[in-house]
A = this chain, B = another copy of it.
Amino acid sequence: MSKGQVFIISGPSGSGKDTVLKLLLNKYPEIKFSISSVTRPMRVGEVEGEKYNFISKEKFQEMINNNDLLEYNEFVGNFYGTPKKPVENAINNGEDIIVEIDVNGAAQIRKKIPEAVSIFIMPPSLELLKCRLNGRGTETPEVVEKRLLEALSEIKRAEEYDYIVVNDLLDEAVQGIASIIVSERLRLSRQYGLINEILG
């Protein structure tokens, strides 16, 4: 059986990454999604086990000690990490799995899984990015400015990725990522043994 493939997906705040991924996973339920372990408190609207497993700092430290994480980082006193086991299981079961992660986490995963395919979701323009970040209306101008600077520094690192999907039309962006996943399954290197199988 062919091995599964890891798809690293990144995109700055304002890229619309969350919406794209939600639609993609609804449309292609066979694609697995890597659930991050985090120590920050759950926010309103979040559901345990959907995008995150909310765990204690002690439990997180235990995962670090046991080498149970593919990557992790600390951000304003909280830990965020990608558990290793579900990713390994997907690969071994021939399933595709998406790891949604920032540019730094992506770099860490690439080192451990060099064959991972990485996709950067890009806002269609700087103006629209600013507008989307402002439009949330829930943040102070300082927070919006900080998010924008972070987004710009992530965009500069888009050249580390294999593919760039511009999220202009939502359906096209979803279809673009789906096309990448389907085409990667058709690669000669993913179809080991097929030729001999056909020749019998």
User: Contacts A126-B199, A152-B199: A186 and B191 contacting too (C-beta < 8 A)?
Assistant: no
Residues of B contacting A188 in the complex (Cβ-Cβ under 8 angstroms) = 158-159, 161-164
* Nearest chain B CB to A152 CB, angstrom units: 7
Interface string of A72-95 (1 = CB under 8 A from B): 000000000000000000000000
* Interface range on chain A (Cβ under 8 Å from partner): 35 or more
Please measure, in the bound complex, the distance between the C-alpha atom of A194 and the C-alpha atom of B187, giving whole angstroms: 26
The 8 Å CB contact of A195, one of B159, B176, B183, B191, is B159
Please measure, in the bound complex, the distance between the C-alpha atom of A37 and the C-alpha atom of B143, giving whole angstroms: 63
Q: Is the CB of A176 within 8 A of B180?
A: no
Q: Taking the full assembly, how many copies of this chain does it contain?
A: 2
Residues of B contacting A195 in the complex (Cβ-Cβ under 8 angstroms) = 122, 155-156, 158-159, 164
Q: Is the CB of A198 within 8 A of B163?
A: no
Residues of B contacting A194 in the complex (Cβ-Cβ under 8 angstroms) = 122, 164, 166
| A175 contacts partner chain B, Cβ-Cβ < 8 Å | yes
* Nearest chain B CB to A16 CB, angstrom units: 14
| A200 contacts partner chain B, Cβ-Cβ < 8 Å | yes
Instruction: List the interface of chain A (C-beta within 8 A of B).
Output: 119, 122-126, 129, 152, 155-156, 158-159, 161-166, 175-176, 178-180, 182-184, 186-188, 191, 194-195, 198-200
List 12 A-B residue pairs with CB atoms under 8 Å apart, sorted by A's residue number.
A119-B186, A126-B199, A129-B198, A155-B195, A161-B188, A162-B187, A163-B187, A164-B195, A176-B183, A179-B182, A179-B186, A182-B183
